[in-house]
Structure 1
Amino acid sequence: MHAVSEPAQRRVGSYRIVRRLAVGGMAEIFLARLEAAHGFTKQVVLKRLLPHLCEDPSFIEMFLYEARLAARLSHPNIAQVFDIGESDERVYYAMEYVHGADLRDVAKRIDATWNAPPLELVIGVCIGVAAGLHYAHTARDETGRPLAIVHRDVSPANVVVTYGGVAKLLDFGVAKAKLDGKESTAVGVLKGKLPYMSPEQIDCSVALDSRSDVFSLGVMLWELTTLQRLYRCDSQMETIRRITREDAPPPSGVRKDYPPALEKIVLRALARDRDQRYASAFELQRALEAFALDQQLVVSPSRIAELMAELFAEELEGERAQLEDEPREVTDSEVFTTHWSAEANAAPSGGADQHEAPTRLSVVAPSPGPAVPGPTSPDDPSTRRRQPWPWIGGAVGGALLVALTWKLAGNAGSDEQPRARPEVVDSQPPEQPPEPSPAPAVVTPPAQPAPVAQPASAKPAPPSSERPPDKPKQREPKRQTKKTSKPDTNWNKNSLALPN
């Protein structure tokens, strides 16, 4: 075993080692964390070739072959491979962190907790494994050529059930496939775990296909539903003899209450003649789904997660306690929140909440400039604060006055005095040019409707001579402008008040 305790060994490439999970005959497995730019982190599993095997090119090629093959597969029931690299002359690859327990531990915990295996969990897990196998068996490369994958090591050690209720198939290290059109393993090479090998896999005289993995899954299904080992013998020769020469015993011989319909499915998957088995993992998956439907079994991930929580309650509680005891690291969101708050200190926030910092940057309002005198009195402070909108209010008020004038001109005679009131608007523009430069831009919109009212007032010529006596009525359009623009300026104030 090679402990990882020195600070120099705490990092492998871009990954920081958290702790070691396991050591196998070929590689050691770590829980690691990918650390990238801008505070990006991701928890992964790092698999690294053992030091004494790094001098053997055949082991290096086998290790890299597993990584390249698994990286081509993307399925919910297959653990994903993300990256491959080399550090300190040792090759490694990063894969999905599957938070759960393998089927060996699940079977032991079921045997110690319950008198009978829960069919919902067992059937649900095997359905997921069959789905992942079918995807691998039918996978193709980038050019559309079949990869012809046969896992060859389907066993409880290579299936992990997550605490979220999903079965994940692992370890394609001994899988047979055609990468780049080349066969990975020649006929006659024996790879895998003997108690889960198919008869043709042991025979080594014929090329393997997907039905070999169907047999291995059948062995797992038999063991999980009986909580006993199927091919556990005193010697390897005895195991080989039973697999190749004897039919699998019916599970009802172990459990008297074994469902007959499920026994039929299991024995067909374990047929020594592969032509008598299910033709694909998909057919086995459909048979298990039909059985679950007929027996009204809930095999959803949520139900499996509930059962896993009951089985591994102590482990989950221990993990939660460990996380609470460990020093908490600053999260990515906290890093950015700190930066935003530091930049916002220059603004007059006065101890504002941190969530307002992004708002200050995304909603940028122009700083209030000098007041632009509008139609109202220049010493009105509210008018100076609402400078962008008075001309709209004036335009609306002018339009209303023009419409009123047009209506009065059409309905009354030329001797009526009220028609002369809109003419006051014409007298205001000549008085505005002496005002500061922004004034014409504000006053011009309400002065534009005056020519429209001229044809209506052209007939009553005498009222034009009465314009001087009507000058005191100039406040009437001002009051109209102020009342009309007030809702608009209030909306404008609220919208620009976001940074405050």
Structure 2
Amino acid sequence: MLRDADGTPLPQRFGPYVLFDLIGRGGMAEIFLGRTFTRLGAPRLVAVKRMLARLSADEQFGKMLIAEAKLCAPLRHANIVQVHDLGRIDGRLHIDMEYVEGLDLHRLLRLCTRRQLPFPPEYAFFILEEACRGLAHAHRAAADDGRPLHIVHRDLSPTNVLVSFEGEVKLCDFGIARAAAETLAPDEAAAETETLRGKFAYMSPEQARGDAVDQRADIFGFGILVWELLAGRRLYKGGNDIETLRLAREAAVPPLPRRGRPWEDAAQDLLDRALARHPADRFPDADALHDAIRDIILGFDIRCSQLGFAEFLRQHFAEQIVPLRRDRERALDLIAPPRHAAGQGGDGPPHGVERRSPRPNSTML
């Protein structure tokens, strides 16, 4: 039986949501697959990111998370996971996000390694181009009055790159890394909550030193993704978190491994600039980085399409994920059928097609 971090079994009701599957669990939050309803009464699957109780009780963290989430929620782009809502239910901070049926890049690469399945470089370039397009959109975002928002992701690690079985590529968790970085001491985050475990390896040197960062830190973080996808291994191989953090501060980046691929020189030129130690020496913005990736794809006739990538994912991984999730959704229908009329005992809105109002202990922010 699936249970949350507090030991409560799934499915469980959480405000207007019924949570019925656990997508992931980290040092800051758990991500659930849940069902809620649109204003017209139609069922809608959502990913609900619920912060752990200790972080939800941290007032400073809560204020920072809400401010950052509100800043990033208006982002609308095919390569960015949409944020639908944020709030606090039963004292727990949560973010209601678009559900992407697929897996994150970290899990995808681990499965490829486990199955000894080479990851085709054409799909690596496809992921990089699509993800960089989303990053460029976020970096260009402006307020209604035209003022630049200066959004910085700060955590472009593989777990924050999602790929769907339709071949979509989406970035997620804009703003959450800043909330953690500015409210939790690094030793507390790493040692107690594991918030930063695995994240040091994707930091720019200035971020690893604790200096102020701007969008050029994201250029460096994205450059690490480029290096690792094309090399097929981790960039920094520290034996522990302290060693990895030291490597990130030094930014001693080895050359891309050579395997006789025709685009390697062009890729190395891109990496030399994206992974420059000094921010001023990097690409000036994510649009320029995207153009460099696109130039390699076009210049070396690298054939990569969303349809081809989707077929690769479905052929090798869908059967491991989708049937189990469908079974749990069908089981939810038996336990809490989505009936829409009042008094029928389902999880639908209690007054016809009107969406259920938040309960007294639910505060939408």
Does TM, scored on the shorter chain, surpass 0.5?
A: yes
Matches within 5 A, 1:205-284: 205=211, 207-245=212-250, 247-253=252-258, 255-257=259-261, 259-284=264-289
Counterpart for residue 138 of structure 1: 140
- Is the CA contact 2:20–2:328 (under 8 Å) kept in the aligned structure 1? no
- Is the CA contact 1:198–1:215 (under 8 Å) kept in the aligned structure 2? yes
TM-score, normalised relative to structure 1? 0.58
Aligned length: 323
Counterpart for residue 195 of structure 1: 201
Counterpart for residue 39 of structure 1: 41
Counterpart for residue 360 of structure 2: none
Counterpart for residue 166 of structure 1: 168
TM-score, normalised relative to structure 2? 0.78
Question: Which of structures 1 and 2 has the bigger CA Rg?
Answer: 1
Please say if 1:111 is aligned against 2:113: yes
Pick the structure with more helix per residue.
Answer: 1
Instruction: Please state whether the residue corresponding to 2:257 is helix, strand or coil.
Output: helix
Amino acid in the other structure paired with 1:154:
L
Q: Which one of 127, 147, 150 corresponds to residue 148 of structure 1?
A: 150
Identify unmatched segments of 5+ residues in structure 2.
Answer: 190-195, 342-365
Give CA-to-partner distance per residue, 1:141-164, whole Å, 9 cap, x none: 223221111111111011111111
Counterpart for residue 358 of structure 2: none
Report the CA distance between 1:242 and its aligned residue: 3.3
Q: State how far apart, in whole Å, the 1-side matches of 2:85 and 2:326 are.
A: 31
Pick the structure with more strand per residue.
Answer: 2
Counterpart for residue 15 of structure 1: 17
Give CA-to-partner distance per residue, 1:15-62, whole Å, 9 cap, x none: 222223223222222111112555321111112222233332122223
Amino acid in the other structure paired with 2:277:
R
Report the CA distance between 1:236 and its aligned residue: 4.1
- Is the CA contact 2:20–2:329 (under 8 Å) kept in the aligned structure 1? no
Counterpart for residue 204 of structure 1: 210
Counterpart for residue 352 of structure 2: none
Instruction: Please state whether the residue corresponding to 1:18 is helix, strand or coil.
Output: strand
Counterpart for residue 5 of structure 1: 9
Identify unmatched segments of 5+ residues in structure 1.
Answer: 178-183, 336-500
Change (3 A) 1:331 1:14: closer
RMSD of the alignment, in Å?
Answer: 3.1
Counterpart for residue 80 of structure 2: 78
Q: State how far apart, in whole Å, the 2-side matches of 1:185 and 1:49 are.
A: 16
Instruction: Please state whether the residue corresponding to 1:312 is helix, strand or coil.
Output: helix
Report the CA distance between 1:6 and its aligned residue: 7.6
Amino acid in the other structure paired with 1:221:
V
Identity in percent: 36
Moved more, 262-271 or 283-292: 262-271
Q: State how far apart, in whole Å, the 2-side matches of 1:311 and 1:270 are.
A: 32
- Is the CA contact 2:162–2:169 (under 8 Å) kept in the aligned structure 1? yes
Amino acid in the other structure paired with 2:316:
L
Instruction: Please state whether the residue corresponding to 1:252 is helix, strand or coil.
Output: coil
Change (3 A) 1:196 1:146: same
Report the CA distance between 1:174 and its aligned residue: 4.0
Amino acid in the other structure paired with 1:150:
V
Bigger relative contact order, structure 1 or 2 (CA pairs below 8 A, ≥6 apart): 2
Please say if 1:309 is aligned against 2:311: no
